[in-house]
Chains A and B, each alone.
Chain A
């Protein structure tokens, strides 16, 4: 097994994954058996608790339990707006150097721990878990970061990881990692299809979305969107509130006044939320919630969806916003990949499906049973990248990340040819990075000489009106909405500006021809056509960009 791993470090939970040389990825469970290890640390007496054990301390020992600290890395206390509602553990305070820190009591002594120190301890625990699983020392790690992490935060994160004994090979963006894992699932066949994806990552306390175009296996981020505070915790809060109301009604006791009751409510809400992703009804039972009353109730999925309606619609709007930010329309999107724990919610997936046309696939566990667990995607992508670059030395990796390599030219309009019926066939689609070479096999039909015309595509939206089929038997519904004709929108590229013409002569009927478009690094487009037979001479020419 390889000794390089991928780690995704989230606000709510962290995951570790390792890829074998054949491309099989394992998400590593920590000694508690968790593959989504809560990013939480708790201190009780001499002991340091980590993961689920630390998280469960939120009820009894919230003052010494630290959660949701990832986003504070490399930030000054003044820079961030701290949302108190998300900090039900130890409260962040201003550290000695202006950084964010937490005050904890350990053995009756007060300790101030900076976010960096806490992160180092967290990474050390992750390292232990990974080494436990692999049985060897970890040689390197690929870390994922949100796309809005600043350069300074990235540097800080690398420092933290190195300080904990994990050598950072590369930092990659979370949505890219998720997409890489998704595309590698089918032996990498998917990555050869030119598509535009929306990767929507719904975490515990924040949501991120990225519009990514995949062209010839190369990923380009077209736009990103972020929403802090929107995430799974909102669902928990809504559920807690719902239960609190019901409890109050039943027992005339308010559980919201007591921090411990609130913590108990939240812990149970999380369980209920997860259960409702799989089944229609879930029970909720909390012993001694407030004033000694036990609480027992049940909730069905519909009620849950109504309770969390606001957050759900916010999330849908958030995805839509990301598409708009990229200057695209939902029609342009080929696939939506849902990432993060919240993606398990069936309603969220169906809501998002609703805003996109039918041609768009939404990848979520509730819609596609074969989809990879959305919580694992990012870690898997990091592990795959780690195994890919394992054989390279640091110098080579560094060289590959230079701006000259990473920043490439992308064509903004599709380029293709027109067939006899005047239909446009793209060779290169929009947002393709070059240097690139693409070929297409065509035929001349019956004519002995043909023209190959190279066009730039023009984006048009074709609207087809489907007349509603009259249901003769059902006379009652005749005056209902059924009468409205349905309009199906379809994105079609038509031939726009003509770029060049090639002509091939003296051809036998129905011979095989190959048309090749090759854009070199300096932007020169080589256009050639030839007959697919031994000894044929290609006709070629070149054009440049405007």
Chain B
């Protein structure tokens, strides 16, 4: 029952009175309605703005939920003509129109896509547009749906789903390492029993992460199985031996395929590792670092060696200099000696000649005795006395010569260098 309003006609709007003055009271700050009130008050939203915001929030959620074009993909003519007996060779995801999702498709998405395909390809529909024997593709759809809903069968199919594989770049061609290999590893990652799988990363990825990445792929634990490629085992009981033979063959071929796949993966990872520019960079960096370290490590001994070499050089230099100096000095002293010798000779000669020059002090009869004494004196005199006496006795009169010789004799006797008794003339 709805409220019926009174009839009548008036101005569109007339205000008659004011409503009673409000009273201010505290509301209790609890409950979600209070939180909404608080957010309205604090952010200054009006009611309609607030409602709009709330409504927008709700709309977004709805949009996220739906993907309406699921399963709208068109199948290729080739696929539509596929022999239903050979359904295993068909691309089962493409059959359901899920080739863009593949192993990522959820069960719900598979169900919805299947429903769409059934609506489109049901034999009843086909026969209506002529042709009665048109249920081949429908059979494949049903087979695909059966496989997709059984988790074991789906895993087996995903293992051999070529459509989801990303091939590595052709060797020896030019390509960007990360662009080419990133998707390869991303697609291989789906086989990992351990999730999440580390990403390839980029040139800036740290060494630890890169090492962890190759470490993970080196120990890759794959769930990939190859039952899907089995040859059909005949289910008649007539030929049991043949059946067992086929079973054995299947097991062997699975094993072989698994080994091949493991080998393929190992090769793949090795190739990527070999081509990875980061590994090269790390190697170079490591080498540089090693050298740097070595250089630093040897810094101590090198310094010591340098010092030793410098010291040795200095010593050699000093020795050379000393030798030169010595040679110079040697040469100088030879000359001086010779000069001194000559001067000595001259002095000796002048002393020896002095008595004779003054006619032996008027005492020529004792000339031999005087000369004998002079010879003894000259032998006894040292260089200084010799020079001294020589200057005293040259070019003077007899008494001066005599007194000079006498004083020298008395000096020598006093010095104990000369025995007065051996002198025959002087010292008397």
Contact = CB atoms under 8 A, between A and B. Distances in A.
Interface of A: 170, 172-173, 176-177, 180, 183-184, 188, 191, 212, 216-222, 381, 385, 388-389, 399-401, 403-413, 415, 417-421, 425, 431, 433-437, 440-447, 449-453, 456, 497-503, 505, 513, 518, 520-521, 523, 525, 527, 539-546
Contacts of B38: 399-400, 405
Contact of B32 (A217, A401, A444, A525): A217
B8 A451 contact: yes
25 contacts: A216-B33, A217-B32, A218-B27, A218-B31, A218-B34, A218-B37, A222-B25, A389-B35, A406-B29, A408-B25, A412-B22, A413-B20, A417-B3, A419-B3, A419-B4, A433-B37, A441-B2, A443-B2, A443-B3, A450-B6, A451-B10, A497-B17, A500-B15, A543-B15, A545-B22
A34 B315 CA distance: 97
Interface string B7-30: 111111111111111111111111
A406 B26 contact: yes
B41 interface: yes
A358 B11 CA distance: 44
Contacts of B62: none
Nearest to A441: B2
B19 A415 contact: yes
B5 interface: yes
Interface of B: 2-35, 37-38, 40-42, 46-48
B47 A191 contact: no
Contacts of B33: 191, 216-218
B41 A219 contact: no
Nearest to A428: B19
Contacts of A500: 13-17
Given A415-B19, A499-B19, A545-B19, A505 B9 contact: yes
Given A216-B33, A219-B30, A525-B19, A437 B6 contact: no
B41 to A, nearest CB: 5
Contact of B26 (A188, A407, A499, A502): A407
A426 to B, nearest CB: 11
Given A408-B24, A410-B24, 6 more contacts: A221-B28, A415-B19, A447-B8, A505-B9, A539-B13, A545-B22
Contacts of A411: 19-20, 22
A401 B28 CA distance: 9
Nearest to B34: A218
Contacts of B5: 417, 419-420, 442-445, 450-452, 513
B18 A420 contact: no
Nearest to B14: A501
B20 A451 contact: no
A518 B47 contact: yes
Contacts of B8: 447, 449-451, 503
A327 to B, nearest CB: 11
Contacts of A505: 9
A518 B47 CA distance: 8
Nearest to B47: A437
A381 B10 contact: no
Contact of B25 (A220, A417, A418, A544): A220
Interface of B is mostly: mixed
B20 A409 contact: no
Given A450-B7, A545-B18, A545-B19, A219 B31 contact: yes
Contacts of B2: 441-443
Nearest to A403: B26
Contact of B23 (A403, A409, A419, A502): A409
A406 B34 CA distance: 9
Given A221-B26, A411-B22, A502 B37 contact: no
Contacts of A436: 47
Contact of A546 (B9, B19, B23): B19
A520 to B, nearest CB: 7
B264 to A, nearest CB: 46
Given A217-B31, A443-B4, A435 B24 contact: no
Given A388-B35, A435-B47, A419 B29 contact: no
Contacts of B40: 435
A172 B30 contact: yes
A400 B40 CA distance: 10
A385 B30 contact: yes
A541 B31 CA distance: 33
A451 B13 contact: no
Nearest to B6: A420
Contacts of B46: 435, 520
B12 A498 contact: no
A539 B12 CA distance: 7
A518 to B, nearest CB: 6
Contact of B27 (A219, A425, A452): A219
B19 to A, nearest CB: 6
B31 A388 contact: yes
B22 A451 contact: no
Given A411-B22, A420-B4, A499 B31 contact: no
A445 B42 contact: no
A241 to B, nearest CB: 40
B235 to A, nearest CB: 51
A438 B297 CA distance: 84
Kindly list the 8 A-B residue pairs having the minimum CB-CB distance in the complex, ordered from nearest.
A217-B33, A447-B7, A541-B13, A219-B28, A400-B38, A451-B8, A409-B22, A437-B47
Contacts of B13: 500-503, 527, 539-541
Given A172-B30, A502-B13, A410 B23 contact: yes
A498 B16 contact: yes
B30 A177 contact: yes
A499 B17 contact: yes
B94 to A, nearest CB: 41
Nearest to B40: A435
Nearest to A404: B41
B9 A449 contact: yes
Contact of B18 (A405, A447, A543): A543
A431 B22 CA distance: 9
Contacts of A444: 4-5, 7
